Amino acid sequence: MFEEFLTKLLNPSISFLAIYVSVIVVIAYIGLLFQFFKIKNLKQENETLKHQLSFQAHSKISLSKDEGIIS
């Protein structure tokens, strides 16, 4: 089995090369798909953090205004 594979690898036929290239292309597409979902997830996390920072900034401004008025 392994010797057959080595023989085909060293003296490839067109069909073997086509299968080999197809497998590599499929693996590359799967990798790109994972990267796409990773980027999408990071964008959502970024938006969530922006909203949290915005909310904290507004609450600090209102607290500082209240403290300024009280003192």
Q: Where are the alpha helices (DSSP H) in the chain?
A: 2-10, 14-70
Distance CA(47)–CA(55), nearest Å, equals 12
Single out the residue of 4, 28, 32, 27 nearest to residue 16, CA to CA.
4
Inside any domain, residue 6: no
9: Cβ–Cβ under 8 A, 6 or more apart, which residues? 16
pLDDT tens readout for residues 22-44: 999 999 999 999 999 999 999 99
Q: Which residues form the domain of 34?
A: 25-71
Distance CA(16)–CA(55), nearest Å, equals 59
The pTM assigned to this predicted structure is 0.51
Q: How many structural domains comprise the chain?
A: 1
Inside any domain, residue 12: no
8: Cβ–Cβ under 8 A, 6 or more apart, which residues? 16
Inside any domain, residue 16: no
The least confident of 23-27, 35-39, 52-56, 63-67 is 63-67
Mean pLDDT of 4-14: 78
Inside any domain, residue 65: yes
